[in-house]
Chains A and B, each alone.
Chain A
Amino acid sequence: MKQLITLIVSAIAIAGCGSGSSEGGADDQLTVGFSQVGSESGWRTSFTQAVQAEARDRGIDLKFSDAQQKQENQIRAVRSFIAQGVDAIVIAPVVETGWKPVLTEAKRAGIPVVIVDRNMALEDDSLYLTRVASDFVEEGRKAGRWLMEETGGDCDIVELQGTVGATAAIDRMTGFNEVIANYPDAEIVMTQTADFTRARGKEIMETFLRAMDPADICAVWAHNDEMALGAVIAMKEAGIDPGDDILVVSVDAVPDIFKAMADGDTNATVELSPHMGGPAFDAIEAHLRGESVEKLISVNGDLFTQETAAEEYQKRTAG
């Protein structure tokens, strides 16, 4: 809120002066407005921090606005960025629809817009410069490849799906299944949605363990870390040693999963890369140099395992 007020105040101040800083390249410093969804999850917070760190490293003046998960706040922030005459705008949209008017305003003002993370439903792709997004399918593939290597392609898997219909759930499932299709001895024996939440992950895992002999389960594949952490609790309560008796692989790489990995409770996680700032700033700089930019830039996170978990946990919780 405070940030927003500051923005508005400065917007007025600039309008009062009557001269925009975006005119010409008088100073070399790039000014970029960044409208973030909010801070609803640990991953979101690290995403924000990663973008801010990247901007600091490049000497970019980043104007940050937290939308508190409301689109109207984002639209207001974008308008304020336009009024301030920033060089470019980065938006992590709350929702997909309703962006056309404000993006048209940005286009008219000649300010390039980069969409990061979630998508926007836009028919006219001239309204934005590029979109930087995670490749969910590739994340699924990475998880699958790791598991197949670890088990030699012989594994009965139980799957905890994300929310039915969510892009992240569908794509991660697609990528994972694509990989294990090549291994005749690998099979998903039970699958159910756990809505991306820890509580449901625990509940569904409990039922899986009751439904079949735990000794027949080789691995848990969860579409996000939260569900994996829930499944870990369920297994521990059932007297099973997760990470040992049953392997656990998931996606996101939130701080808590590194702790779990360090404790030996889960085995691997694929990072949903929060490092979307770099590619976004690259694209902006290329555009300002007059180069053409691809309309979709995929970022891929790395796979982390227990070996580096303790170290990563330190790193990620220290900052």
Chain B
Amino acid sequence: MTAATSLLSLRGVRKEFPGVVALDDVDFEVRPGEVHALLGENGAGKSTLIKVLTGVYPRDGGEMSLGGETLSPQSVGEAQAAGISTVYQEVNLLPNLSVAQNLLLGREPRRFGLTDWKQMNAKARETLKRFRLDIDVTRPLGAFSVAIQQLVAIARGVDQRAKILVLDEPTASLDASEVEVLFDILRDLRTAGLGVVFVTHFLDQVYALSDRITVLRNGRKIGTFETAELPRPKLVEHMLGYELQGTASSHASRGTVTEGNDAALEMDSACVSGSVQEISLAAQSGEAIGLAGLLGSGRTEVCRALFGLDTLSSGRIRRNGRDVHITSPRGAIAKGIALCPEDRKANGIVGELSVRENIALALQARRGWWRPIPAREKRAMAEKAITDFKIATPDADKPVRLLSGGNQQKVILARWLAIAPDVLLLDEPTRGIDVGAHAEILRLIHQLCERGMALIVTSSELEELVAFSHRVIVLRDFRQIAMIEGEDITEDAVLQAIAS
């Protein structure tokens, strides 16, 4: 690529956060008149890259240029002025203002120093015509569907004399026909010479729209590919970091699970309205079930349903062969089911409370408020957990929010093991934690299986999933698409299933 043909060019861009390298020597280039898909699993660095590009974060190294001129935006405003417009997943417009006001906010046509409403509305109608939107621009934006709001947001972005349009998961809230409208518009914009950066989790859409694909993984660029020349399985490989052939690792022998016994936890054709459909799985005691699939495939939703956070619309859940109705986490806990949630900060730790209080919380909740755990017992519990799990904290009184992600995760695991559950659901237990804690948690999963606990674990890391699972359920679009058992569990097999 010569510099002349590239509109936007990033060279060796680096971004560090305390303790983490979020972007490591990343090159990225967008040509005029192309739709460039930016792909990668969570934590790959997509959103950091976009934030560096749009002036939210300053970069720590490397160069950026737009249309041949050096680009160092210090703020979102500067990036916009330079010609980079961004539309985020959540519409960040003002629902109380009219469509026209939203479109032209900050650059309203003026007459004698006052807003010229007539001209503003006319201008807004004109703009929206390009987007095949014929709506009443004087009505408040909030009165329209999310799809239309999204289109208005895009229209606003494009209207600002943009050279580059960055779309961060714009289709997450749109239905199929709305996506079609959006894509038609994006194709128009492409024809008009705009460079579009497109972030999504939907691979179908990548193939339907994009010209080229750049894949990031763990803050590094894996490569840039012509979409037409990159088969889908290959793309998934790049995203997840495994090759289909050659590396099939052999595993420690899996203990054969006695068949015929009632499963510790079983899901039978379970559906949740608006969420997972027709999921059937069974976890025997001493068995780890892996839930595989890309982000948004329904892994978390299966855990939610099993833990009583979502209610089944049909199908059933059985514990030891008996039908159970689980309608709340309290109900699940009472039946010996525990969940380490995916979003540790929002749903896991109680940040302000101490390490000790966090560890004691679930046990205390099960005992009830009138039967407090004696202080000495609580202290002993915390001390034991800190030693057993190697939790790095100066003392048990420290507020848990001051601990690192890995140590917070260990605190939550300690919280659940204190109530000795029969079934433990682990939703992305190793995400965003350091290598040491990672190994600890994997070792723990093995131990718990040996002790006879039934585990259901989701993970984006196929290698670890394959390493500890007795059975892998592969999900896509909220449906179960494959089940891989025993010796058939290899990274290849799982990848094939995900990409098929």
Q: Are chains A and B touching directly in their complex (CB below 8 angstroms)? A: no
